[in-house]
A and B are shown apart, each in its own frame.
Chain A
Amino acid sequence: MSAYKNYLIVWATLLVLTAITVGVSLLNLGLWNAGVALGIASVKAALVALYFMHLRHEIKLVLGFALFPLLILALIIIGTLTDTLYR
Chain B
Amino acid sequence: MPDLSALNGGEASLASHDVDAVFIIPAIPSSLGNFFIPLLIGARDVAFPRLNLFSYWIFLAGIAVTLFSLLQPIDTGWTFYTPYSAQSSAAVTTLCLGLFLVGMSSILTGLNFIVTIHTMRAPGMNWYRMPLFIWAMYATSVIQVLSTPVIGITFILLAAERLFGVGFFDPAKGGDPLLFQHFFWFYSHPVVYVMILPAMGIISEVAPVFSRKPIFGYRAIAYSALAIAFIGFLVWGHHMFVSGMSTVAGVIFSFLTFFVAVPTGIKIFNWIATLYRGSITLDSPMLYALTFIFLFIIGGLTGLFLGSLATDVHVHDTYFLVAHFHYTMMGGTVMGLFAGLHYWYPKVTGRMLNENWAKNAWWLIVTGFNVTFFPMFILGMQGMPRRYAEYPAKYQPLNVVATVGSWFLAVGILIMFANFIRSLRNGAPAPANPWRGLTLEWSIPSPPETENFTEIPTVTDWPYSYGKKTRHDRGK
If A61-B118, A69-B146, A72-B146 touch, whether A82 touches B248 (CB-CB below 8 Å) is: yes
Query: At the interface with chain A, which of B232-240, B283-291, B442-450?
Result: B232-240
Q: Which residues of B contact A86 (CB under 8 A)?
A: 246-249
Q: Check B233 against A75 for contact (C-beta < 8 Å).
A: yes
Q: Which residues of A contact B186 (CB under 8 A)?
A: 76, 79
Q: Which residues of B contact A2 (CB under 8 A)?
A: none
If A61-B118, A69-B146, A76-B186 touch, whether A83 touches B233 (CB-CB below 8 Å) is: no
A28 lies within 8 A of chain B by Cβ: no
If A72-B146, A76-B186, A82-B252 touch, whether A87 touches B237 (CB-CB below 8 Å) is: no
CA distance A83 to B234 in the complex (A): 14
- In-complex Cβ contact of A83 among B114, B146, B147, B182 (8 A): B182
CA distance A50 to B384 in the complex (A): 56
Contact digits for B218-235, partner A, Cβ 8 Å, 1 yes 0 no: 000000000000000110
For residues 164 through 189 of chain B, which have their beta carbon under 8 Å from a beta carbon of chain A?
176, 178-179, 182-183, 186
Q: Check A79 against B182 for contact (C-beta < 8 Å).
A: yes
Contact digits for A45-87, partner B, Cβ 8 Å, 1 yes 0 no: 0000000000000000100010011001001100110111111
Chain B interface residue number, banded: 20 to 34
Q: Check B176 against A84 for contact (C-beta < 8 Å).
A: yes
Q: Check A82 against B249 for contact (C-beta < 8 Å).
A: yes
Distance of B183 from chain A, by nearest CB (Å): 8
Distance of A34 from chain B, by nearest CB (Å): 14
If A83-B178, A83-B237, A84-B176 touch, whether A76 touches B150 (CB-CB below 8 Å) is: yes
Determine the residue in chain A with the shortest Cβ distance to B235. A79
Distance of A67 from chain B, by nearest CB (Å): 12
Distance of A9 from chain B, by nearest CB (Å): 31
Q: Which residues of B contact A80 (CB under 8 A)?
A: 179, 182
Q: Which residues of A contact B183 (CB under 8 A)?
A: 76
For residues 229 through 269 of chain B, which have their beta carbon under 8 Å from a beta carbon of chain A?
233-234, 236-237, 240, 244-249, 252-253
Q: Which residues of A contact B182 (CB under 8 A)?
A: 76, 79-80, 83
Distance of A61 from chain B, by nearest CB (Å): 7
Which residue among A75, A79, A86 has the maximum number of chain B CB atoms within 10 Å of its CB? A79
Q: Which residues of B contact A84 (CB under 8 A)?
A: 176, 246
Q: Check B146 against A87 for contact (C-beta < 8 Å).
A: no
Q: Which residues of B contact A85 (CB under 8 A)?
A: 246
Distance of A70 from chain B, by nearest CB (Å): 11
Q: Check A79 against B236 for contact (C-beta < 8 Å).
A: yes
Q: Check A79 against B150 for contact (C-beta < 8 Å).
A: no
Q: Which residues of B contact A69 (CB under 8 A)?
A: 146
Q: Check B237 against A79 for contact (C-beta < 8 Å).
A: yes
Q: Which residues of B contact A79 (CB under 8 A)?
A: 182, 186, 234, 236-237, 249, 253
Distance of B408 from chain A, by nearest CB (Å): 42
CA distance A72 to B234 in the complex (A): 9
CA distance A84 to B174 in the complex (A): 13
Distance of A36 from chain B, by nearest CB (Å): 21
Distance of B194 from chain A, by nearest CB (Å): 15
Distance of A74 from chain B, by nearest CB (Å): 11
For residues 409 through 428 of chain B, which have their beta carbon under 8 Å from a beta carbon of chain A?
none
- In-complex Cβ contact of B246 among A65, A68, A76, A83 (8 A): A83
Q: Check A75 against B234 for contact (C-beta < 8 Å).
A: yes
Distance of B266 from chain A, by nearest CB (Å): 23
Q: Which residues of B contact A72 (CB under 8 A)?
A: 146-147, 233
CA distance A80 to B249 in the complex (A): 8
Determine the residue in chain B with the shortest Cβ distance to A82. B249
Q: Which residues of A contact B246 (CB under 8 A)?
A: 82-87
Determine the residue in chain A with the shortest Cβ distance to B247. A86
Distance of A75 from chain B, by nearest CB (Å): 6
CA distance A82 to B246 in the complex (A): 7
CA distance A75 to B150 in the complex (A): 12
Determine the residue in chain B with the shortest Cβ distance to A68. B146
CA distance A87 to B178 in the complex (A): 11
CA distance A62 to B233 in the complex (A): 21
Q: Which residues of A contact B247 (CB under 8 A)?
A: 86
Enumerate 10 A-B pairs (CB-CB under 8 Å) in ascending A order: A72-B233, A75-B233, A76-B150, A79-B234, A79-B253, A83-B237, A83-B248, A84-B176, A86-B248, A87-B245
Residues of A within 8 A of B (CB): 61, 65, 68-69, 72, 75-76, 79-80, 82-87
A-B pairs, top 5 by smallest CB distance, nearest first, are A86-B246, A86-B248, A83-B249, A82-B249, A87-B246
A-B contacts besides A76-B186, A80-B182, A86-B246, 13 pairs, CB < 8 Å: A65-B114, A69-B146, A76-B150, A76-B183, A79-B182, A79-B237, A80-B179, A82-B252, A83-B178, A83-B248, A84-B176, A84-B246, A87-B245
